[in-house]
Chain A
Amino acid sequence: MNKPVSTEETIELRIPSRAGSEKIAMAAAAVVAKDMGLPKERVDDLTTALAEAVLNAMEHGNSMNEKLQVIVTFSITTDRLLVSITDQGQGFLPPEQTPSMQAKVAGDAPARGWGWFLMEQLVDRVEVVAAPSGGTSVRLVVIMEGKNTHE
């Protein structure tokens, strides 16, 4: 993928809102990220963050309605990878508070609720935008180290 920075390549996947389907996106992300030259640790981080974003879109965006899809778009340039995860639901707001393991282990908070936290920890930037279709797009950004960024 040795091409000018201004060139952007796009790959799009459409997957059903069915638990387990997020692994399709993870497999694609691993191929794309390896091809870009990301080290294994960052590939693993991206695939985990992406899995959480897709599951979030299935559950909170599409209410696990298998007729609704999650659209995953990889936008690739030489200096960064942007992965957009878009649901076809009514939109949702990300959580405002950081989850507390202490509260969860104590039983003072639900055990679930780590997805958004993991996304924010594992990639360089997480953005949330309203999709033109009415759903929500979560954008995961991975910056290639040592490359100039244009965003």
Chain B
Amino acid sequence: MSKGLIITTHAEERVMIIELSGELTKPDAILPEQILPPDTQIMAVVFNFTAVEYINSAGIALLIRLVRRAREQQAAVLAYGVSNHYQKIFNMVGLTSYLYLYPDEATALAAAGLIR
């Protein structure tokens, strides 16, 4: 019934790009430390939500834990590809004060200081 969540990450310069695919429905789908190890030197984390189909409150909890982890490392957290509905939800819960939304990959990466 649940499609699960696929997370792929790669770093470019000091920006960690996290591609999310599927459903964000489990707060412990991944340990934040796995994505952002303590010794990682990054200045920004960029989430790609383009392939995310469903987010519930448990998935929001996962995002909070990831944001918390990034902030502990003084990294900005940005995202793109969030649907209008989930933009509304993120704004409603106050997540957009900590996770900054951009309309597309180019603007998000530029904001993160990464020019391709």
Cβ of B65 within 8 Å of any chain A Cβ, yes or no, is yes
Instruction: Please classify how large the interface on chain B is, using the bins under 10, 10 to 19, 20 to 34, 35 or more.
Output: 20 to 34
The answer to whether B94 and A51 touch across the interface, beta carbons within 8 angstroms, is no
Which A residues between 1 and 37 are near B, CB-CB below 8 angstroms?
18-23
- Interface of B, secondary structure class, is helix
| Choice from A21, A100, A111 contacting B1 with Cβ under 8 Å | A21
Instruction: Please classify how large the interface on chain A is, using the bins under 10, 10 to 19, 20 to 34, 35 or more.
Output: 20 to 34
Q: A19-B25, A23-B1 are in contact. Are A101 and B57 (CB under 8 A)?
A: no
The answer to whether A41 and B85 touch across the interface, beta carbons within 8 angstroms, is yes
- Interface of A, secondary structure class, is helix
14 sampled A-B residue pairs with Cβ under 8 A: A19-B1, A20-B2, A41-B85, A51-B56, A55-B56, A100-B94, A101-B94, A105-B64, A110-B61, A111-B60, A111-B62, A114-B93, A115-B57, A121-B92
